[in-house]
């Protein structure tokens, strides 16, 4: 890692590293205009209101984080369900009835998930920020959980979306690969395994990286960043309207949106 965030480029000229998170790079891929709204425009344009599925995901993440900070004897399944209530926010739901119904569902997810967790295991990190530099980038990100198993670090990312992810998604995730690289640099221990823990289905998608697959993700991150930087210097942020517009925080102000903004509760899964 670089303490100063500056390095010498190939032509001998000092070059500032581009600081970014996986989310920033993914936002560029989603839609360059959304990237402009999110990272370039000053003052920042108004965003849409909260989403129900985001409120639900936050409550689950916060409950699981706090659960691991409790004394081991208090880490029960039921305590996890209680923590969901503690962290619940009803923003983004249609009404109180819908909010309560999904809160109950989130409690069930957490209770079930924790039946498979050993309360005596201490994670190496909880919502831990990790970072690493590459030739051109200063990458950082916050990891839901970092475990240590068999002498290696393991990246754990909680998912609460509709669809269970698979191994291909775990291996193809730029964010998870960057977390693995960052965790290894930050905590000075080997990290190759990344896991997506899907609470609604109580399934795990696991992928084990090697040097080559991590290097490919770094190259990809550098390509995306180079594209975003070049477009920024030219003020060129071409909108790519599509299905994401319905859930874009800027759909209400974007003249390129190709559909009406979805209802705040549209991302909730009625069948989960």
Residues lying near ligand SF4 in the complex (CB under 6 A): 31, 33-34, 37, 239, 241, 244-245, 248, 250-251, 254, 256-257
Task: Supply the DSSP symbol for 124.
Answer: S
Nearest to 17 by CA among 109, 140, 125: 140
Given the complex with ligand SF4, which of 120 and 255 has the nearer CB atom?
A: 255
- Provide the minimum distance between the beta carbon of 245 and ligand SF4 in the complex, in angstroms, as a whole number: 3
In the complex, the smallest distance separating the C-beta of residue 15 from ligand SF4, rounded to whole angstroms, is 30
Instruction: Assess contact for 36 and 26: CB atoms under 8 A.
Output: no
Q: How far apart are the first and last CA of the chain?
A: 42
- Nearest Cα to Cα of residue 41 among 242, 253, 222: 253
Q: How far is the CB of 227 from ligand SF4 (least distance, A)?
A: 16
- The residue among 157 and 249 lying less far from ligand SF4, judged by its C-beta, is 249
Of 8 and 243, the one with the shorter C-beta distance to ligand SF4 is 243
Bridge partners, 204 (sequence order)? 197
E-only strand ranges, 86-214? 125-133, 137-149, 152-159, 191-198, 203-208
Q: Which is nearer to ligand SF4, 171 or 246 (by Cβ)?
A: 246
| Min separation Cβ 34 and ligand SF4, Å | 4
Residue 263 CB, nearest approach to ligand SF4 (Å): 16
- 16 forms beta bridges with 6
Q: Which is nearer to ligand SF4, 54 or 272 (CB)?
A: 54
């Amino acid at each position: 890692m670089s303490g100063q965030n500056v390095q010498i480029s190939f032509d001998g000229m000092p070059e500032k590293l581009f600081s970014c998170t996986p989310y920033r790079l993914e936002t560029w891929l989603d839609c360059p205009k959304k990237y402009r709204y999110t990272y370039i425009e000053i003052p920042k344009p108004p965003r849409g209101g909260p989403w129900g599925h985001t409120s639900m995901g936050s409550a689950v993440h916060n409950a699981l984080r706090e659960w691991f900070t409790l004394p081991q004897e208090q880490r029960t399944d039921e305590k996890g369900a209680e923590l969901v209530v503690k962290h619940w926010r009803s923003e983004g739901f249609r009404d109180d009835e819908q909010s309560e119904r999904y809160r109950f569902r989130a409690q069930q997810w957490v209770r079930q998930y924790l039946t498979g967790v050993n309360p005596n295991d201490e994670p190496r990190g909880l919502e831990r920020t990790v970072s690493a530099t590459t030739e051109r980038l200063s990458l950082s990100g916050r990891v839901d959980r970092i475990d240590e198993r068999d002498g290696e670090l393991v990246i754990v990312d909680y998912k609460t979306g509709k669809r269970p992810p698979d191994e291909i998604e775990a291996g193809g995730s730029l964010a998870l690969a960057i977390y693995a690289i960052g965790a290894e640099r930050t905590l000075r221990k080997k990290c190759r395994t990344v896991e997506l823990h899907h609470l609604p289905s109580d399934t795990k998608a696991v992928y084990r990286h090697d040097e080559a697959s991590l290097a490919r993700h770094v190259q990809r991150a550098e390509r995306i960043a180079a594209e975003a930087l070049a477009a920024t210097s030219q003020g060129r942020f071409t909108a790519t309207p599509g299905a994401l517009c319905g859930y874009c925080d800027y759909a209400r102000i974007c003249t390129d949106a190709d559909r009406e903004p979805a209802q705040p509760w549209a991302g909730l899964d009625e069948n989960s």
